[in-house]
Amino acid sequence: MKIVVGHLYPEYLNIYADRGNIAVLQRRAAWRGHELEVQAVSADDTLEPGAHDLLYIGGGQDREQALVAHDLKGKRNQLLAAADGGAAVLAVCGGYQLLGRFYRFANGEELPGVGLFPLHTIAGERRMIGDILLDTELVPGERRTIAGFENHAGRTYLDEGAEPFGRVVAGFGNDGASGAEGCRVGRAIGTYLHGPLLPRNPWLADWLLAHAVAHRTGGEAPILAPLTDDLERDAHAVSAQRARDRGGRF
């Protein structure tokens, strides 16, 4: 079947190899006989609820975030309707921040967010950089690890009762203190873990694809045919060990 991905602001929010996440989704869909059509959704484009099975928004610096924030706020109702309608969402770093309520610069100015995730972000003085390892449970009863790389100065604070994407085993996470990383609302995931997020964590790519298929069919998320993933498992193991070598922070 055809799976349609809406890639938000690819010309602005595309640092740290985030486009590689799209390439992984395309390849893993193709290996199973599906077509992944990627549609750029940029400034002044209309975001049609129901048109996309998966929405992806990548990372960017403060300047790029400022360029798209108000246009994205204008798409707020359509984006929330898409998520409420069952579309999967992956938001990375700067995109993750903009899907919260607001991002506040050090000088007190604020960029508006869309409020999909129950959180806000405040700029910090020291960047939090390095390999990071998470423990997560996207499927009840199935604990998995996520290995990646973080590079952000923003401190993100979840509302009380909000569900993080994962708990930090080693690294900084949302704010360097709480032990939480990212946020999850239904089929929507926000995270500071940059590309190559999905190459190192193929099971997460498959989770997103399965929920995109569920949106397309209107049914439950299917169990996708397994792939070999030997290289991907090796990449995950190397990244996870680098994070552990940093020492557990929580």
Residues 6+ apart with CB under 8 A from 245: none
Residue in 134, 146, 130, 163 with CA at minimum distance from that of residue 208: 146
Over residues 214-228, the mean pLDDT reads: 96
Helix (H) or strand (E) holding 164: none
Q: Residue 87 to residues 73, 96, 148, 210: CA-CA distances in angstroms? A: 18, 16, 24, 11
Q: What secondary structure letter does DSSP report for 47?
A: -
Q: pLDDT band for position 248 (50/70/90)?
A: low
Q: Which domains does the chain have, with CATH numbers?
A: 2-246 (3.40.50.880)
Over residues 103-126, the mean pLDDT reads: 96
Q: Is the pTM of this model over 0.85?
A: yes
Q: Is residue 16 within 8 Å of residue 193, measured between CB atoms?
A: no
Name the residue with tokens 């129950």. Answer: 118
The catalytic position among 7, 152, 194, 236 is 194
- Is 93 part of the annotated catalytic residue set? yes
* Span of 27-36, 84-93, 189-198 with lowest mean pLDDT: 189-198
- Is 70 part of the annotated catalytic residue set? no
The catalytic position among 7, 52, 93, 152 is 93
Query: b vs e for 212-240, b when ≥16 Cβ sit within 10 Å of the residue's Cβ?
Result: bbbbbeeeebeebeeeeeeebeebbeebb
pLDDT at 246 over 90: no
List, in sequence order, the alpha helices (H) in the chain.
Answer: 19-31, 62-74, 76-84, 94-98, 197-200, 202-217, 230-246
Distance separating alpha carbons of residues 125 and 22, to the nearest angstrom = 31
pLDDT in tens, 40-91: 999 989 999 899 999 999 999 899 999 999 999 999 999 999 999 999 999 9
pLDDT in tens, 104-115: 999 999 999 999
